[in-house]
Structure 1
Amino acid sequence: MAKRVTVSIPDLLHEKMEQWRESFNLSKMFQDAVAEAIQKKEEFQRRIREDREMGEIVERLKREKARSERNYFDRGREDGFLWARSAGYDDLIYVVGGRVQENALKDEVLGPYFTDQAKKNGLLGGSENGVAGDYLRVYVEGWKRGLNDFWEAVKDKI
């Protein structure tokens, strides 16, 4: 069902509309113009709502990522401390001296150990890059911290 609407227009526009009345379906043009304006407004509001929702999603994911990183750091720290307890002196000095390669999986001395730990903790994810690689780096940082904590507790007693 169609509804009638009264629209005010300037005199000059009315004169031109009268001249071209037979050439245009003014009612259809008005309907199309109003429908397009409403669609643009609704789309704009939807984008704002989605952006806000997207921002909330991103913030939630950042919190979850930080929590995961803390978990991997803590797991690495515990594993590093346990490894240090059974490690030989030369191996301890190797790690304490900062000689472990940045990519621990390729380290000439500890590469196989870190590869096993990465597999055990699900840190390979099919590649050494991406999120799994980021978590592996966090795990290794924690591992080194655990080893250094152990070293600090024993170095003066050796």
Structure 2
Amino acid sequence: MNMAQRITITLPDNLHERLQMFKESLNISGVCQQAIDLAVQIEEIKVRTDIPAMEKAIARLRKQKQEASAKWKQAGFKDGLIDATEELDYLTLKYIGEGGDIEESIPGIKNEPTVKMWIDHFRWERYELEEDYFESEIYTQGWIEGVIHVWKEIKDKL
């Protein structure tokens, strides 16, 4: 035989006042039992959550993140190579190739946007349809590495 256990609950004054209007039509004990049962079921599900499944999900998502990062780093590097060989002028190539701050305008060139704004503009033209999946920081890092690679290859030949 199941024994029922008594517990006491505390209600805020405003809820207690509202409850008084419907006290006769509600099975307060039943309502509380249902609410507690639901809360306990949720906690039981949390405890039973299959940890290996969570670990699989983490590994899968981590792999997808790494693949996306590698994709955008490679795209940035390739675009940096192309821009360095086909687009960038000498001062810009030298500035970036020697580690200039891309958040700043290139010294000696007036009324020019920052290098970062230039990168963002051309990146947007190339990848505007993939904007939701674009990893700007990783792409920019790859782009800079591509430009630096070209600079190192050609600087002594100029």
TM-score by length of structure 2 reads: 0.58
Uncovered stretches (5+) of structure 1, i.e. residues with no partner: 1-26, 31-39, 126-130
Which has more radius of gyration?
A: 1
In 2 relative to 1, CA 142–90 (structure 1 residues): closer, same or farther, beyond 3 Å?
A: same
TM-score by length of structure 1 reads: 0.58
Give the percent of matched residue pairs that are identical in Structure 1 and Structure 2. Answer: 22
2:118 aligned partner: 112
Q: How far apart, in 1, do the equivalents of 2:154 and 2:91 lie? A: 14
Judge which range, 88-97 or 44-53, deviates more: 44-53
In 2 relative to 1, CA 152–48 (structure 1 residues): closer, same or farther, beyond 3 Å?
A: farther
Q: How far apart, in 2, do the equivalents of 1:152 and 1:73 lie? A: 19
1:28 paired to 2:29: no
What per-residue deviation string (whole Å, max 9, x for no partner) do you get for residues 25-65 of structure 1?
xx1239xxxxxxxxx8xx75763443331221111101110
Q: How far apart, in 1, do the equivalents of 2:3 and 2:125 lie? A: 66
1:56 aligned partner: 56
2:94 aligned partner: 93
Uncovered stretches (5+) of structure 2, i.e. residues with no partner: 5-39, 105-112
In 2 relative to 1, CA 46–111 (structure 1 residues): closer, same or farther, beyond 3 Å?
A: closer
On the 8 A contact 1:118/1:136 being kept in 2, the answer is no
Q: How far apart, in 1, do the equivalents of 2:140 and 2:80 lie? A: 8
Q: How far apart, in 1, do the equivalents of 2:67 and 2:80 lie? A: 20
Deviation at 1:156, TM superposition (A): 1.7
